[in-house]
Structure 1
């Protein structure tokens, strides 16, 4: 036994055993960092909704979160960077609503109209934050790459249950179908945002009917090659 131990791993000494206090302290600091970041995001969302994006400063966001300007910059490069992360959080929150169409009969018109109506209503409820994102984009931010990636992820998610969305953008035979899926989801997102901001024709109730018909025409077609 002694020889075997000598040739194998050495026995753990007291110094080798992790101190549970060190692990607990590290976990505490990680949680505290996450909490600080979430508090800054929540404070920014409140300030942006109440006053808009442009008038709010980094100092005011930090103060609203009960933190210093230095702490703010430990988490974000600036106001535009924070707005981009807030955009990501909003997109992640809305993802289950978009994927909900897979849980119902997505070939039934009434179900599709109800689904798109819920999307429009959700954006209407968040219209002040959407307006802040619009101001941020016009000022210094650019959420276009994030929105494009979000749509790409939605296509992949919907493709798990809806054959028309099960398309590979890198497969030449499926490229057209993928682009059609992308444009369809983009139009729903875009018109929903416009309706929430009382912009253009998106406020006309017929827009939801038209979008539902386009969705149905897409999902009822033959499965992609």
Structure 2
């Protein structure tokens, strides 16, 4: 039996796969264009040409250049969340362990995904909706620190999340200017400062609000 109701799901699944493949192709090509030209110089036409596609297809997937930059960054969010999950899963919280985490995992993220980070930062400046999405990404990443937020319950829950999100935002801003935009800093000195800051704040978060 081959009724229409039986055939439709397979056809819809095929279209969905085509949509996902086209979406990914445009993201990969946008990354190449942003890497080669920079976000400001790049245009939608450049991305379309790199993808060997059409404007109609591009706009079926993305609102504009800022939106494609935001979607490009969203592809690396699992890696970003993984950074903070690692520090949340440290078997023993110590300054040395935090410094090793920063050195081996946290700083590497901004170097590995410099194109995505640079593009989304420029997109945020151009489009308030991307900035709003970015702040939600920060909160989602911060929630990976939930073992340190266990004591922040009830009316103090927001205060704990805000305190932790400030840590994440501070690290992000520093690494953007330092590792993506190239502002010079001594790496070992910066690791020492960050380790002091993060260790102190994580201990305070774990201890919970003052009674």
Equivalence for 2:83: 97
Equivalence for 2:17: 31
The 2-side partners of 1:154 and 1:165 are apart by 16
Question: 1:182 aligned to 153, 157, 165, which one?
Answer: 165
The 2-side partners of 1:88 and 1:155 are apart by 15
Does the Cα contact within 8 Å between 2:48 and 2:58 map onto a contact in 1? yes
**1:1-225 → structure 2 map (5 Å cutoff):** 19-105=5-91, 107-117=93-103, 118-138=105-125, 140-142=126-128, 143-159=130-146, 162-164=147-149, 167=152, 171-196=154-179, 197-199=181-183, 204-221=187-204, 222-224=207-209
- Aligned-pair CA distance for 1:100: 1.3
The 2-side partners of 1:135 and 1:150 are apart by 16
Higher helix share: 2
Aligned in 2, Cα 1:86/1:167: closer, same or farther, shift over 3 Å? farther
Larger radius of gyration: 1
The 1-side partners of 2:152 and 2:184 are apart by 32
Aligned in 2, Cα 1:209/1:175: closer, same or farther, shift over 3 Å? same
Aligned in 2, Cα 1:121/1:114: closer, same or farther, shift over 3 Å? same
Equivalence for 1:4: none
TM (norm. structure 1) is: 0.79
Q: Bigger CA drift: 88-97 or 177-186? A: 88-97
The 1-side partners of 2:124 and 2:148 are apart by 35
TM (norm. structure 2) is: 0.83
Aligned in 2, Cα 1:135/1:149: closer, same or farther, shift over 3 Å? closer
Aligned length: 205
Aligned in 2, Cα 1:210/1:190: closer, same or farther, shift over 3 Å? same
Does the Cα contact within 8 Å between 2:83 and 2:106 map onto a contact in 1? yes
Aligned in 2, Cα 1:167/1:62: closer, same or farther, shift over 3 Å? farther
- Aligned-pair CA distance for 1:190: 1.4
Structure 2: 5+ residue stretches without partners: none
- Aligned-pair CA distance for 1:28: 0.2
Does the Cα contact within 8 Å between 1:116 and 1:212 map onto a contact in 2? yes
The 2-side partners of 1:176 and 1:208 are apart by 27
The 2-side partners of 1:187 and 1:106 are apart by 24
- Aligned-pair CA distance for 1:200: 6.3
